[in-house]
């Protein structure tokens, strides 16, 4: 396409004058290019190939791709914007180098950018740009994302399983004195206070849809989930709200008895509370005693 395929028309001097610093090397590499093309000369000189080459040159010439530079003609001259057409039909000697620039454009080492303004247009070829070599961010690698997701799933599953064992332990210790319905709130209450956001995004959306629920309990030690999802009607005695120990664990409160006191460690607040064991005298005293001994009193 640059004319080197026609051995009889190669003008080494007109080509190499554009590479003055390597003029002797220029003659050698032009000869090497010609020797490489010798076996393909019959195919390159066919009518169809010649027509395709001429069409390609005409299209490139019509694009008017240029080099641009801001410079001064001399030390006292004003700064000027100078351009030169790369595929100039009046300068066939530069066509070889013009096509090397085009190859850079094809392989992405250069770009052709067109600027259109009120006083004319400029279609420019950029400088040579080496590919940017940059390490991939480890967190953006698909396999690493899968590992993070897997670790999150394992963490959630382990926490929920461990919480389930804790609840079973409290059920055994309290000899069945717990609010059974509350145990079905393992995900809605325990999942939020023990695991956090990973298991509760859909539940948060659920809370904000529809009318605001009501609760007879206003204790600050109860999470919002426990306040609105736990059963409270049978837990209030003499104006005091008694939270069974299994439900307390579900609410992030670990309870244990020592001597005549019941101690409660609130993991959310990182504080310890204590309450003496109480007994009521009257109707259903035995039932009340069992419920109180298996519960921790909270303000209503």
pLDDT at 50: 80
Strands 236-237 and 240-244: antiparallel
| Residue 113, C-beta contacts closer than 8 angstroms, at least 6 positions apart | 123, 124, 126
Last residue of a domain, one of 84, 103, 125: 125
pLDDT at 123: 92
Beta strands in the chain (DSSP E): 65-71, 80-85, 112-117, 120-125, 236-237, 240-244, 253-258, 261-266, 271-276, 295-299
**Does residue 252 lie in a domain region?**
yes
**Does residue 148 lie in a domain region?**
no
The predicted-structure confidence for 235-293, as pLDDT tens digits, reads as follows 887 778 888 999 999 998 999 988 888 899 998 888 999 888 765 555 555 556 677 77
The predicted-structure confidence for 135-162, as pLDDT tens digits, reads as follows 877 767 777 778 888 888 899 899 999 9
pLDDT at 193: 85
pLDDT at 161: 92
Asked whether residue 6 carries a pLDDT value surpassing 50, the answer given is: no
The pair of structure tokens assigned to 15 is 């080509």
Question: Do 190 and 273 reside in the same domain of the chain?
Answer: yes
**Does residue 153 lie in a domain region?**
no
**Does residue 149 lie in a domain region?**
no
Taking residues 115-119, what's their average pLDDT? 88
Can you name the residues that pair with 240 across neighbouring β-strands?
237, 299
- The greatest distance separating any two alpha carbons of the chain, rounded to the nearest whole angstrom, comes to 124
Question: Do 181 and 294 reside in the same domain of the chain?
Answer: yes
- The answer to whether residues 112 and 34 touch, using CB atoms and an 8 Å cutoff, is no
Q: Does the pTM exceed 0.95?
A: no
pLDDT at 265: 93
Can you name the residues that pair with 265 across neighbouring β-strands?
254, 272
Last residue of a domain, one of 125, 143, 163: 125
How many structural domains does the chain have? 2
* Structure letter (DSSP) for residue 2: -
Question: Do 184 and 105 reside in the same domain of the chain?
Answer: no
Question: Do 114 and 19 reside in the same domain of the chain?
Answer: yes
Question: Do 187 and 292 reside in the same domain of the chain?
Answer: yes
- The answer to whether residues 179 and 249 touch, using CB atoms and an 8 Å cutoff, is no
**Does residue 65 lie in a domain region?**
yes
The predicted-structure confidence for 192-245, as pLDDT tens digits, reads as follows 888 875 445 454 445 455 566 778 888 888 888 888 889 888 888 777 888 899
- The answer to whether residues 202 and 187 touch, using CB atoms and an 8 Å cutoff, is no
Match 């595929």 to its residue by tokens.
87
- The answer to whether residues 298 and 217 touch, using CB atoms and an 8 Å cutoff, is yes
Question: Do 121 and 230 reside in the same domain of the chain?
Answer: no
The secondary structure of 104-127 as a DSSP string is HHHTTSS-EEEEEETTEEEEEEPP
Taking residues 154-177, what's their average pLDDT? 91
3-state secondary structure of 209: coil
Last residue of a domain, one of 93, 125, 157: 125
Question: Do 120 and 189 reside in the same domain of the chain?
Answer: no
**Does residue 262 lie in a domain region?**
yes
pLDDT at 272: 92
| From 59-68, 78-87, 210-219, the region with the lowest mean pLDDT | 210-219
**Does residue 169 lie in a domain region?**
no
Q: Which ranges constitute the DSSP H helices of 133-284?
A: 142-173, 201-207, 224-229, 245-250
**Does residue 50 lie in a domain region?**
yes
pLDDT at 7: 41
Question: Do 84 and 185 reside in the same domain of the chain?
Answer: no
Question: Do 202 and 115 reside in the same domain of the chain?
Answer: no
The pair of structure tokens assigned to 142 is 């698909």
Question: Do 115 and 203 reside in the same domain of the chain?
Answer: no
pLDDT at 4: 61
Number of Cβ within 10 Å of residue 186's Cβ equals: 15
Residue span of the structural domain in which 249 resides: 177-299
Question: Do 70 and 184 reside in the same domain of the chain?
Answer: no
Number of Cβ within 10 Å of residue 121's Cβ equals: 9
Q: What is the edge-to-edge ordering of all strands in the sheet holding 271-276? A: 253-258, 261-266, 271-276
- The answer to whether residues 241 and 219 touch, using CB atoms and an 8 Å cutoff, is yes
Taking residues 118-145, what's their average pLDDT? 82
- Share above pLDDT 90 across residues of the chain, in percent, rounded to a whole number: 14
* Mean of per-residue pLDDT scores for the chain: 82
Question: Do 96 and 210 reside in the same domain of the chain?
Answer: no
User: What torsion, rounded to 10 degrees, do the Cα atoms 288, 284, 220, 263 define?
Assistant: -10
Give the rounded distance of the alpha carbon of 143 from its chain centre: 13
């Amino acid at each position: 396409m640059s004319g080197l395929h026609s051995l009889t028309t190669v003008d080494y001097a007109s080509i190499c004058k554009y590479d003055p610093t390597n003029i002797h090397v220029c003659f050698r590499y032009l000869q090497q290019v010609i020797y490489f093309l010798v076996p393909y000369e019959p195919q390159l000189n066919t009518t169809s190939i010649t027509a395709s080459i001429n069409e390609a040159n005409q299209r490139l010439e019509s694009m008017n791709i240029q080099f641009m530079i801001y410079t001064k003609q001399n030390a006292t001259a004003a700064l000027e914007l100078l351009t030169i057409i790369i595929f100039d039909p009046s300068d066939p000697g530069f066509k070889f180098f013009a096509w090397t620039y085009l190859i850079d454009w094809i392989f992405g080492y250069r770009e052709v950018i067109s600027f259109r303004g009120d006083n004319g247009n400029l279609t420019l070829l950029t400088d040579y740009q080496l590919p940017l070599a940059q390490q991939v961010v480890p967190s953006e690698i698909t396999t690493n994302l899968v590992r993070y997701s897997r670790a999150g799933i394992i963490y959630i599953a382990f926490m929920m399983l461990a919480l389930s064992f804790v609840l079973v332990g409290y059920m055994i210790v309290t000899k069945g004195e717990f609010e059974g319905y509350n145990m079905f709130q393992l995900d809605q209450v325990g999942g939020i206070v023990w695991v956090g956001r990973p298991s509760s995004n859909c539940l948060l959306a659920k809370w904000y849809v529809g009318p605001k629920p009501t609760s007879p309990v206003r204790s600050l030690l109860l999470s919002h989930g426990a306040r609105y999802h736990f059963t409270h009607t049978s837990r209030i005695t003499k104006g005091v709200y008694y939270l069974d120990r299994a439900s307390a664990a579900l609410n992030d409160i670990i309870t244990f008895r020592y001597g005549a006191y019941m101690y409660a460690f609130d993991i959310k607040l990182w504080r310890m509370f204590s309450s003496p064991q109480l007994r009521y005298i009257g109707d259903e005293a035995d039932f009340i005693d069992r419920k109180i001994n298996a519960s921790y009193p909270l303000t209503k």
